Amino acid sequence: MIFNKNVSKKIYVLLFLAYILVLIMFVTFSYKLIFHDTWEYISLAKTFAGFDNSSAFSVHSLVYPFFISFFVKIFPSILTMKLVNISWLILIGLLLYIFDFKKYAFVIWIFSPITWVSSVVISPFLPAAFFFLVAYLSIQKWLENKKNSYFIISALALGLSAAFSDVSMILVLFFVVSFFYDKKFKKVIIYSLLVLLSFSVRLILDASLFSLAVNSKLIPFPIYSITRFLGARLIIQLGLHPVIGTTKLDFASFGFWSFLIVISPLLFYLCKINYQKHKKAIFFLTLSTVLFLFQGGSHLYFIILAPVAVLLLSETFRRKELILHIVLSSIIIIFMVYPYFVVDKQELEKRNLIIDDIQMIKKDFSFDTVVFYPDTLADFYMWDKDLPYFVSPEEYGRIINGNAYYSQYTFETRSKIDMQKTLEFKAGLKAEAKEGIDYRNLPWLLEKGEKPPEGYKLTKCYQLLCVYQK
């Protein structure tokens, strides 16, 4: 009989090896690459690795793309990023295998829809999920035996989770409140300081990359990525974002309620959990779930909570529930990941033509910089450090026309009493001209049929792209 207490360890080891092999094949042959924010992490990883042929963009933590870049320097390809990305899912599976005596949590995990749905998404949510699981397992051990080593490991892992993922910064607060509300204040302070210690990886990286000009004096800016993330969230919540607007809760959409099945279609079995034994974990999961739902309910958020939920769920499962989970989850997985393997032949052909044309243009011309906005997928598959630097048409237009700001916001206090001064804050995003580039005489690369700017003449056309110069 499968999945009973007499199952040989060899069977579980083979199952784990099969999980790794199928996961590798899954991300290798999946076609879809671009998900929400994925392009940001990929382009930043390329930039950190030295493939910086265009200006980078970031609204989130830079720790994960910086981490990935070390592997990309050795093996420059998208596949390298995908393999590094799924390593976190493998590590989570390994932890569940080691810490769950029955191995049910391990089996639930490898057949969980969210494991496979998130595997192709290059996102810091995956390392955040791993470190949250380490933090949870360690804090549970500390609560049982009071060994300081578990206390320290938990805090450091929690800090690393927040260093990788912006969302985890808020979850850290929920975690500390949930597991330390009945502990002495001294313990809370020590734990928080240890969290801050590992979180400082993010602060150090920001400080090394960014400076803040204060009256022409440059000072390190260790909270750059935090400022960008919180600023973006504030603008969205106020409904001031020019594209997104405000966050709307679509209660009728599948995406909003998908969290009920993406971890397990039997997630409702958590109602059977021993509340007194796991009340702290349940409180933490509840707070986090409410937060995610108010952020739009994307099921990808829940990958951070999934390993902890799987551990709790495994305590309510018997052999019958485990088999039912496997069957139902397999159906859901097929339904949800099928689009990842649908090849857009037109998009693929365009990508290949752009890559070929860029290589031909590099041979025929000695351009250092061109005005060109490459197809996103094409850009991700170009790994040549000798390519010209790409300036996007929008960036070019703002610099040439003197309209540098993409967006500007002014926040000013209003008083009900007569005040001599008011408090005013101004913030914005602006294009910055790169030193040494003569923007007014840059050549343009346009697709056939696109109209060139005034004053530019056709120099040469290739399969898809045409070169225009003054």
Q: How does pLDDT run across 73-84, given as a tens digit for each residue?
A: 999 999 999 999
Mean pLDDT of 214-235: 85
Which pLDDT band, with edges at 50, 70 and 90, does 3 fall under?
Answer: low
Q: Is residue 415 part of a domain?
A: no
**Residue 57 predicted with pLDDT over 60:** yes
Residue that finishes a domain, picked among 341, 356, 386:
341
Residue that finishes a domain, picked among 290, 313, 341:
341
Q: Is residue 106 part of a domain?
A: yes
Q: What pLDDT is attached to residue 1?
A: 45
Q: Are residues 367 and 337 in the same domain?
A: no
Q: Is residue 418 part of a domain?
A: no
Q: How many domains does the chain have?
A: 2
- Choose the weakest-confidence range: 107-111, 187-191, 292-296: 292-296
Mean pLDDT of 143-158: 94
Q: Are residues 378 and 242 in the same domain?
A: no
Q: Is residue 421 part of a domain?
A: no
Q: Is residue 4 part of a domain?
A: no
pLDDT digits over 370-390, tens only? 998 766 666 777 788 888 888
Q: Are residues 364 and 239 in the same domain?
A: no
Q: Are residues 332 and 198 in the same domain?
A: yes
Q: Is residue 87 part of a domain?
A: yes
Q: Are residues 332 and 221 in the same domain?
A: yes
pTM to 2 decimal places: 0.90
Domain span at residue 464?
Answer: 345-402+435-469
Q: Of all residues in the chain, what percent carry a pLDDT higher than 70?
A: 93
pLDDT digits over 426-456, tens only? 877 777 778 788 888 899 999 998 888 888 9
Q: Is residue 244 part of a domain?
A: yes
Q: Are residues 314 and 217 in the same domain?
A: yes
Residue that finishes a domain, picked among 323, 341, 359:
341
| DSSP-derived pairing of the beta strands 389-391 and 369-371 | parallel
Q: Are residues 107 and 147 in the same domain?
A: yes
Q: Is residue 148 part of a domain?
A: yes
Mean pLDDT of 343-366: 88
Q: Which residue has the higher pLDDT, 7 or 24?
A: 24
Q: What pLDDT is attached to residue 227?
A: 87
Q: Are residues 279 and 362 in the same domain?
A: no
Q: Are residues 147 and 18 in the same domain?
A: yes
In whole numbers, what is the pLDDT of the chain averaged over residues?
A: 87
